[in-house]
Amino acid sequence: MPLFRYTGVDMAGKRLNGTIEAANAYAVADHLHGRHCILLRADEVGKAGSLAALLNADLGLKRGLPQAAVAQFTRELAVMLEAGQDIDRALRFLVETSDSKAARRIMQSLRDQVRSGKSLAASLAEHPESFSKLYISLVRAGEAGGQLAGSLSHLADLLEREARLTATVQSALIYPALLTVASVGTIVLLLVYVVPQFTPIFAQAGADLPVQTQILIGLGDILQNYGLLMLAALLALGFLGYRLLQADKARLAAERTLLKVPVIAALMRATQAARLTRTLGTLLKNGVGLVPALGISQGVLTSLIAGRAVADTLAKVKEGSRLAPALAAHAFFPLQTIHMLQLGEETGRLSEMALRVSDIHDNQIQQTVQRLVALMVPVITIIMGIVVAGIVGSLLVAMLSLNDLAK
């Protein structure tokens, strides 16, 4: 059986570290539960060696914690508070057990501020690069209602669900990305190294080469002489395009263009709807009012069109309008989202309906991405095959023409 290194805490708040042979992490949790302890972390020995240490190294840069680290911090803090620990002891425990210097620095700062009399929400607000407005608002609501542990548990669920969705999408895109790089690399290799091997043969024959072969040799020469310059130009254009998209006008134009592409438009609408409803439902469930919840939800949207639609909806809600009709007036979010929110308003279960429709959209996003990937792989393969066949065919035609001259 594999060997696990575990970290736990007993009912008195004492930290426990050790190693144990177990089938999996769940078995480690069961073992500690039998000792009236709570498992916080279990890592299989041998899977988190020097590479993990390198990834967790603090390079001294002013940056926030990654999403996975924030989710882990939130879950562990919620577990500690639910076990009856006070916030100071819980933060001290997290400082002592964290593997990352950056995380320890931020947690120690939080602990120092809490010990000086600040609330946890106010302390978190000092680190906006790590903790979002949504995070801080939920913690503030939990502190005000005396349900901090529950709010942190809901936050951990939210962050972990977002992390799973992001990981699923990224994993699905890895293979098409690698296939694209391999395809481009193969074509460049043929043009730069293979085609030039035939050039002396063609030159010695002194024959007129087919047009496609001349184009092929010309492309090879261009890549040999200006390949690095072209790569630098492409990188510069990419950076320029990225900077250009920081401007609102350019982003709006790009979004309007993408919204005209059927599959991409549906994916954009579903993604923004999932962000909106997940944030809104979580905030409402934790006691935040509709108006401030909409204001916070607007901030998590990555689309300018969606953000402006929510901003206008917020203004109408302040004037007394209902949420669903005001949101439907902009015709950006899917009808399914509008109908579920309207049902939630009519039945007094807005938070529940918002969270439910966010789950629906998450599933739709995963299915859409998987279908796109399933289409991208054969398309890339076919394009690569056609290009390679064209290169080889051009060379063969030229060689056959030389054989004809020899006869």
In a shared domain, residues 56 and 202: no
Highest mean pLDDT: which range of 95-104, 204-213, 328-337, 363-372? 328-337
Q: What is the pLDDT of residue 160?
A: 83
Please name the residue that has the structure tokens 């946890």.
120
Mean pLDDT value of segment 146-167: 82
| Weakest mean pLDDT among 201-205, 221-225, 319-323, 354-358 | 201-205
Same domain, 136 and 240: no
Whether residues 108 and 57 fall in one domain: yes
Question: Comparing C-alpha atoms, which of 317, 330, 321 is closest to residue 289?
Answer: 317
User: Which of residues 267 and 395 earns the better pLDDT score?
Assistant: 267
- Report pLDDT for 26: 60
Half-sphere exposure of 118 toward its Cβ, with a 13 Å CA cutoff? 14
Tokens 């006691």, located at residue: 287
Summarize pLDDT for 350-368 with one digit per residue, the tens. 989 998 998 899 888 888 8
Is residue 117 located within the same domain as residue 216? Answer: no
Q: Same structural domain for residues 154 and 183?
A: no
Per-residue pLDDT at 56 exceeds 70? no
Same domain, 155 and 175: no
Range of the structural domain that residue 34 is part of: 3-162
* Whether 7 and 135 share a structural domain: yes
Burial 69-96 (b: 16+ CB within 10 A, else e): bbbbbbbbbbbbbebebebeebbbbbbe
Q: Quick check: 149 and 82 in contact, CB under 8 A?
A: yes
Number of structural domains the chain divides into: 2
pLDDT band at 15 (very low <50, low <70, confident <90, very high): low
The per-residue pLDDT for range 105-132, each reduced to its tens digit, is 888 888 888 888 888 888 888 888 888 8
Global pTM reads: 0.65
**Number of CB atoms found within 10 A of residue 61's CB:** 6
- 390 and 304 assigned to the same domain: yes
Same domain assignment for residues 80 and 196: no
Q: Judge whether 402 and 202 are in contact, CB under 8 Å.
A: yes
Q: Are 25 and 54 in contact (CB under 8 A)?
A: no
Angle among Cα 250, 253, 254 to the nearest 5 degrees reads 85
Residues 148 and 207 in one domain: no
Q: What tens digit of pLDDT does each residue of 248-290 get? A: 888 888 889 988 988 889 889 998 998 899 888 888 887 778 8
Asked if pLDDT for residue 403 goes beyond 70, the answer is: no
CA distance 11 to 153: 19
CATH code for position 230: 1.20.81.30
Both 280 and 348 in one domain: the answer is yes
Residue finishing a domain among 162, 185, 219: 162
Report the percentage of the chain scoring pLDDT > 90. Answer: 10
Q: What is the mean pLDDT of the chain?
A: 81
Contacts of 28 (CB under 8 A, 6+ apart): 4, 6, 20, 22, 39, 42
> What separation in angstroms does the CA of 146 have from each of 42, 71, 141, 281?
30, 21, 8, 20
At which of 141, 162, 183 does a domain end? 162
Last residue of a domain, which of 139, 162, 185? 162
Q: Are 197 and 274 contained in the same domain?
A: yes
